[in-house]
């Protein structure tokens, strides 16, 4: 394994090591002196806010089944509430729902979403 002797090298190598134990680890390194040529990585919540709070695709099939690709969980905000309201208005009028979480890094179904999907929106997950 390559020697991690600078913060930039650590930030590049550490996610590869951590992903062996779980795909939900994220490591970043911010260089306040970076050149304009270096790529800048977008903060996760900024990206979610810009990209419909994680709803990337909602499609209704000819047999009235909704497929929803949901790649991220946003922080609770007025923007998230609006995105969930619009998404659920499309989703809940169909006969069945498929929620694709394969590209979702981590998170839980927010209480705002659970109330649309379950009669008794109790605890949906626990982390220990």
Q: What is the DSSP letter of 64?
A: S
User: Tens digit of pLDDT for each residue in 30-72?
Assistant: 667 777 776 666 777 778 778 888 888 899 999 999 998 888 7
- State how far the Cα of 42 lies from the Cα of 48, in Å rounded to an integer: 10
| pTM higher than the cut 0.85 | no
Q: Count of CB atoms within 10 A of residue 80's CB?
A: 20
Q: Give me the chain's average pLDDT, please.
A: 77
Q: Which structure tokens are listed for 60?
A: 């209704």
Which ranges constitute the DSSP H helices of 22-110?
Answer: 44-50, 78-91
Cα–Cα distance for residue pair 116/119, rounded to 1 Å: 8
**pLDDT at position 104:** 76
Q: How far apart are CA 35 and CA 70, in angstroms?
A: 34
């Amino acid at each position: 394994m390559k020697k991690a002797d600078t913060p930039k090298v650590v930030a590049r190598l550490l996610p590869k090591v951590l992903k062996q134990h779980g795909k939900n680890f994220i490591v970043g390194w911010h260089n306040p002196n970076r050149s304009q040529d270096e790529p800048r990585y977008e903060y996760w919540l900024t990206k979610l806010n810009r990209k419909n709070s994680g709803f990337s695709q909602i499609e209704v099939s000819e047999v009235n089944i909704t497929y929803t690709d949901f790649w991220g969980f946003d922080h609770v905000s007025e923007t998230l509430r609006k995105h969930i309201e619009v998404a659920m208005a499309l989703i809940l009028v169909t006969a069945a729902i498929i929620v694709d979480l394969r590209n979702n890094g981590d998170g839980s179904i927010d209480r705002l979403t659970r109330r649309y999907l379950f009669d008794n929106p109790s605890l949906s997950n626990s982390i220990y």
